[in-house]
Amino acid sequence: MKSLQVRLHVGLGAALTLLMLSLWWLSSSGVNQIGEQMMLSRMEHDGEALLASLQKDESGEWSLKAAHVGHIYQRVFSGHYYLIEVEGQQLRSRSLWDYSLNISTPLQHHQPGPDNQDLLLWYAEFQLNEQSVKIWVAEDITALQNSLNYFSQLFAFACLLMLGGVLLLQRWVVKRSFLSLQPVINELEALSEGDLSSLSTEVPQEVKPLVEEVNRLLHLLAQRLQRSRNAVGNLAHSLKHPLNLLVQLAEQQTADSHLKQELSQHTQQIQQLMERELKRARLAGAGLPGQHFEVADELPTLVELLKRIYQQKALEIHYEIDCGCEYTADRNDMLELLGNLLDNACKWAQQQIVCKISCQQGMVMTIEDDGEGCDSALLFQLTERGVRIDESVQGSGLGLAIVNDIVELYQGEINFQQSTLGGLKVMVRLP
């Protein structure tokens, strides 16, 4: 789709060009009409003067009073001519010399004249002493046409200059008008980076409905996300008590040891899933969803929480963070990612965990523990959903699979290696 700026330039340019062409045509035609009407009016006066000077002598011949006929009609090819027809007799101006006017019908008001002249012809019929008198008056309009053509060319040049000036002005006005949208573009960039939670409505009236709709959509998405997370946590809480009763009933009422073992296994799996969701809710905290993950603010709180969860192991969790490290991403997603990685390390560590986070060209998380590690042949299975390498440690086998899902969502990569501490080393790179 063409840009709005190009479409406005093309549309307004075409409209202005059409307007200027119409103005030029109307002015040229109008001036031509005015010039011709003035000449026809003068020729009409000459015709009436010729009629007044017409006389008939005793022999029945018609003639004009010489004193009433201008000298311009006496000079050969002067550009002023007349022809009078009365009772079959024609009276011609001396200026015509041997040239004959074309007086055939239909009458041609514009016709070529002697000496390459362009003639304008006027005609009228009168009654004089009950005699029909026909008078034709012609005048050379070559000079007038040259003047009108010069005016037309000059006006066309002026129109082109005005059109160019107006187009430049229009381009400047359109560009300046679109500059008023730059704050919206800047706010959208800030919104994508998490610096803003909504767009300002102090915008041009034409884009205000769009901005309001974007704000409404952002608010709706934030509400739905929070409602979804709250619902999962609430569901886990509400199922915890009925599930405990179910476990007790299974232990008390079931005589079949095989059925009892199967029920116990399934209820334990459900409990593990609920504990996982409750842990996610604790990791996310009470803060509102955001688009900025402040590592220095979030990691210490997360470490203290994990120390309380695994207080029986008396773990030492060391962490290093780049100065001013922050990442543009959903806060809850990053808390879940880092929380699952640290939680996995806490499960397997003997005593020590090291976490390093840098925010140069994206974010790099490195978590190492001093646990027993993992066989190299099994490292690729760690991110598979539900897979547990060691069944002796509690868990649902979903933690690293969820980590892998979040990493894929942000188009990052995750690597597993043997740590120098003796356990597992997990490195996550997010662009």
**Residue pLDDT, tens place only, 137-154:** 999 988 888 888 898 899
pLDDT band, very low/low/confident/very high, at 389 (cuts 50, 70, 90): very low
Query: Average model confidence (pLDDT) for the chain?
Result: 80
The segment with the largest mean pLDDT, out of 57-66, 200-209, 265-274, 294-303, is 294-303
| Domain end point (choices 262, 288, 314) | 288
Enclosing domain of residue 272: 192-288
Domain count for the chain: 3
Q: Check pLDDT > 90 for residue 355.
A: yes
Mean pLDDT, residues 208-227: 80
How much is the pLDDT for 250?
Answer: 66
Q: Are residues 74 and 24 in the same domain?
A: yes
The pLDDT, as a whole number, for residue 397 is 43
Higher pLDDT residue, 279 or 145? 145
Residue corresponding to tokens 């059409």:
18
Q: What is the CA radius of gyration of the chain?
A: 50
Average pLDDT on 83-102 reads 87
SS3 category, 132: strand
Residues 6+ apart with CB under 8 A from 78: 72, 95
Residues 106, 119: one domain?
yes
CB 303 within 8 A of CB 270: no
* Mean pLDDT in residue range 401-426: 85
Q: What is the DSSP annotation of 329-348? A: S-HHHHHHHHHHHHHHHHHH
Cβ contact 163:156 at 8 Å: no
Please state, in angstroms and rounded to a whole number, the distance separating the CA atoms of residues 374 and 393.
14
Is residue 312 located within the same domain as residue 368?
Answer: yes
User: According to the model, what pLDDT value does residue 344 have?
Assistant: 86
Mean pLDDT of 369-398: 56
CA distance 52 to 38: 21
Q: Kind of pairing, strands 118-128 and 62-64? A: unpaired
Q: Tell me whether residue 401 is exposed, middle or buried, using C-beta atoms within 10 angstroms of its C-beta: 0 to 12, 13 to 18, 19 or more.
A: middle
Confidence of residue 200 (pLDDT cuts 50, 70, 90): confident
Q: Do 79 and 107 fall within a single domain? A: yes
Residue 108, amino acid: Q
Strands 413-418, 352-358: pairing kind: unpaired
Residue from 35, 34, 73 nearest 53 by CA: 73
Please report whether residue 176 resides in a domain: no
Is 131 within 8 Å of 115 (Cβ atoms)? no
Instruction: Please check the confidence at residue 60 and state whether its pLDDT lies above 90.
Output: no
172 lies in some domain: no
**313/300 Cα distance (integer angstroms):** 18
**387, two tokens:** 């897979």
Q: Does 391 reside within a domain?
A: yes
pLDDT over 60 at 188, yes or no: yes
Pair (149, 200) in one structural domain? no
- The pTM of the full predicted model, rounded to 2 decimals, is 0.49
Domain final residue, candidates 157, 177, 211: 157
Domain with residue 309: its CATH number is 3.30.565.10
Domain stops at, among 136, 157, 178: 157
Looking at residue 287, what is its pLDDT?
42
Residue 231, token pair as written in the block: 């619902």
Q: Average the pLDDT over 65-94 and give the result.
A: 85
* pLDDT-wise least confident of 105-109, 259-263, 299-303, 403-407: 259-263
Instruction: Copy the structure tokens of residue 59.
Output: 């022999």
